Amino acid sequence: MFGGSEEDDADFLSPTGGARLASLFGLDQTVTGAGNEFFQYTAPKQPKKGQPATAAGLASQKSPTPTPTSGPPSVFIATAVHAYRFANGQYVKQGKYGAAVVGSHSTKEYRILLYINQQQQVTAARIHSGFVLTVQPNNYSTFYDDQRQNWSIMFESEKAAMDFSKQLCIAKYNSIPSPDSVLHQDLIIGEGQGVEIGDSLEVAFTGWLFQNCGLGQVFDSNVNKDKLLRLKLGSSKVIKGWEEGMIGMKKGGRRFLLIPPALAYGPQGVANRIPPDSTLAFEVEVKRVRLVKDLGSNGQNLGHRDSLVPSPGPNQENLCTDPAGSLPSMLPPKPGQPDASRPSAEREPAVR
C-alpha cells in the first residue's frame, strides 16, 4: 500500500540523523534546553474558506489555528517502523512508515503520527492521560488511533522501541494539567510472574530530575556499579512512587516511571541532590526476583525470607529509588506466527 521502499529508509530515521526527515516535514533540526533533540514542525496551512482540505491539512482542521504566542508543534522523536493495521480479524502489513511523537508544551497537546511524508500522513492518535501504548515482545507495540483503528508497529531495534516508549510517556505526563499519580510505561516486558506486595527484587536504575517538560540531570544511578538495589515491595523503605510503580514487573523487565513530587521527596527535597517539589523520572530493570508465593511453597519461614533480602530505600545518604509501569496481560508469538490462544484483535501481525 503506502509502504516506503528500502532506499527511503533514511527518511524515517530519528533526529540523530534526520536531515531528510526534516525536509519531509519542512522542519528545522534544533535541540531543546533540556538536551533532548527534536525538530521544529511547520504545520500545514489551513485551507482557505470554500476550498477543499488537502490530505495534509485534515488533522489540523480539528483544532484552532495556533496563536503566534503558542509556538509551532515539535517532533520529539521520529523513527522507522513496520506498520500493521487490524482489519477483518487479522493484522495486515501496510509497509514501512515513519512513526513520530509530536506536540506542543504550551498547549499540552501531543500526538503519535504514522506518516509517509507531510502530504501522506497515514493516521494520528491523540496522547492523553488514558492513552495506552502496549509493548509486546520482538520490538512490537500496539495502539488505537483517533478513529479507534488498531495498529501494531514493529521497531527496527530494541533501543528504538525503548526510546519511542519513553518519549510517549513523557508526552502523556506533560498532557496532564496537574499530575498527582505515578505514570509508567513498559519498555521491555520481561518474563515470568509479575511481582506483588511482599516480593523482593534486585534492580538496576537511573534517576533523572524532570525539568522543562523533559529529562534533566541524572541525580543517581547504579547501572555501571556492581551492587544492585535490593527492595521488598510494601516495606515502605523507598518513596511511595516506587512502591506503586513496581507492581506487576517481571524478571528482565524494564520500565520508565514519572513520579510527581507528592509521591517522591515532596517540598523538602534532598539537600544538594533533589530540589523541593521535584518531579522525578526513572528507568528501572529488574535483575532478580524472589516471590513470596514461591518461597512459601518451599516451606520456608516468611520472616526469615524478609532478612534474606534487605530493603534499603532512598534517603539523603543513599539515593536509591524504583520505577515501574503496567504490563500487557498477554504475550504475542514471534513475528508472523499467529497465537490461537489470544483474541484475534490482540495477536501479532500476520504478514501479508
**pLDDT tens, position by position, 39-53:** 333 444 545 555 554
| Of 123, 156, 136, residue with least CA distance to 9 | 156
Query: Rounded to whole angstroms, how far apart are CA atoms 232 and 191?
Result: 19
Phi and psi (nearest 5°) for 9?
A: -55, -40
Instruction: List pLDDT tens digits, range 75-85.
Output: 999 999 999 99
Tens-digit pLDDT string for the chain (352 aa) = 334 444 455 556 544 434 444 444 444 433 333 333 333 334 445 455 555 544 434 334 444 444 445 567 899 999 999 999 999 999 999 999 999 999 999 999 999 999 997 678 999 999 999 999 999 999 999 999 999 999 999 999 999 999 999 999 999 999 999 999 999 999 999 999 999 999 999 999 999 999 999 999 999 999 988 899 998 998 888 889 988 999 999 999 999 999 999 999 999 999 989 999 999 999 999 999 998 876 654 434 333 333 323 323 333 333 433 333 333 333 333 444 444 444 444 444 443 3
Give the C-alpha separation, 141 to 186, whole Å: 10
pLDDT at residue number 120: 85
pLDDT of residue 9: 56
Closest CA to 281 of 311, 253, 321, 254: 321
Contacts of 108 (CB under 8 A, 6+ apart): 174, 175, 176, 177
From residue 100, alpha-carbon distances to 21, 44, 92, 125, 277 in Å are 11, 16, 21, 11, 31
Global confidence as pTM:
0.70
| Residue 233 contacts residue 197 (beta carbons within 8 Å) | yes
Beta strands in the chain (DSSP E): 28-31, 37-40, 74-87, 90-104, 109-115, 121-127, 134-135, 140-144, 150-155, 183-188, 200-211, 214-221, 229-232, 254-259, 280-290
**CB atoms closer than 10 angstroms to residue 13:** 18
Structural contact between residues 172 and 183, judged by C-beta atoms closer than 8 angstroms: yes
Going by C-alpha positions, the residue among 167, 195, 171, 140 that lies closest to residue 347 is 140
CB 191 within 8 A of CB 227: no
**pLDDT of amino acid 243:** 85
In sequence order, what are the beta bridge partners of 136?
Answer: none
Residue in the block written with cell 496551512: 45
Query: Given this model, what pLDDT does residue 295 score?
Result: 60
The amino acid present at 53, given as its one-letter code, is A
